[in-house]
Amino acid sequence: MTFGFESTTDDVLAGIDLRGRVAVVTGASTGIGKETARALASAGAAVTLAGRNPTALAAAADEVRAAAPGAVVETGDLDLTSLASVRAFASAYLAQHDRLHLLVNNAGVMFTPFERTADGFELQFGTNHLGHFLLTCLLAPALLADPPARVVNLSSAGHGISDVDWDDPNFERREYDKFVAYGQSKTANVLFAVELERRLGPSGVHAYAVHPGRIPTELGRYMTRDDFGALSARAEAGGGLPPKKTIPQGAATTVYAATAPDLPGGTYLADCAVTAEHAPWARDPDAAARLWALSEELVGERFPLGEVA
């Protein structure tokens, strides 16, 4: 069956049975993350909703349980702006679970004022990429325990704004630009999927990056009127802003990447299909390997996943 722009999570999951599958969704208290968790749970998956607001997370979990009676639904505290929090979540998860089939790296921030994470990283790069890099690598034993498994990174067409600045990824010397910072972090999401696929694909753990589309969610909460004007001007130069999607339509590509059969790993998806419509710098395998090494250096831990001893 062919899916597209208007497809929803329920369309994509029609006829798919996820009983016996275990999933983690980050940023699951609102928006696309919550809808992704609901959809996976409704198809039978046991789902852990991860996020940094315990109250909102508990409310979201209750909504998922109500929508998917009988589903196994858990929550876990995860603040991607803190490497200590990421390590604590991963440790707690692995203490209670010996396997993981679907890891959806959904959480993120967009166009934020300049800020640094608890570990000193530029906020967008630190949250959108480095936090998820560390989380994924720490959870790799569970992903490898019962393949096939999949990792889905939420990127954005916004990755076309910027490649990774290898000399100054954390804006320690260059002037901060919230749009460039966001684009860099979303490029990193794609490159991470490319390198993760190279390393773990042969073991049955496949990785994907997705562009969900233009969806009105809390992701845009930092944007000012001037930001909207600047973004519209950038978009006009490239043909204009795309039409908006509903949240179930926006989460559909995530769910498709997580569940569609015979889907080639290491690919970039939009509108529930593999597409090559992404920037050339986000497809470069050498850049993907370079990002892995840089990420290891920044988080202070080496992950020789998939390397031959």
Beta strands in 102-248 (DSSP E): 102-105, 149-154, 205-211
Q: Strands, DSSP E only, in 78-182?
A: 102-105, 149-154
Which residue reads 């390198």 in tokens?
Answer: 195
Cα distance between residue 201 and residue 196, in whole Å: 7
Alpha helices in 24-82 (DSSP H): 31-42, 54-67
- Eight-class DSSP state of 175: P
Count the neighbouring beta carbons within 10 Å of the beta carbon of residue 2.
Answer: 6
d(CA 278, CA 295): 22
* Side chain identity, residue 120: G
The residues annotated as belonging to the active site are: 182
Angle between helix 178-200 and 225-237 (nearest 10): 60
C-alpha to C-alpha distances, 104 to 150, 230, 275, nearest whole angstrom: 8, 30, 19
Strand ranges inside the chain, DSSP E: 22-26, 46-51, 73-77, 102-105, 149-154, 205-211, 267-270, 273-274
- What is the chain's length? 309
DSSP, residue by residue, 271-299: TTEE---S-GGGS-HHHHHHHHHHHHHHH
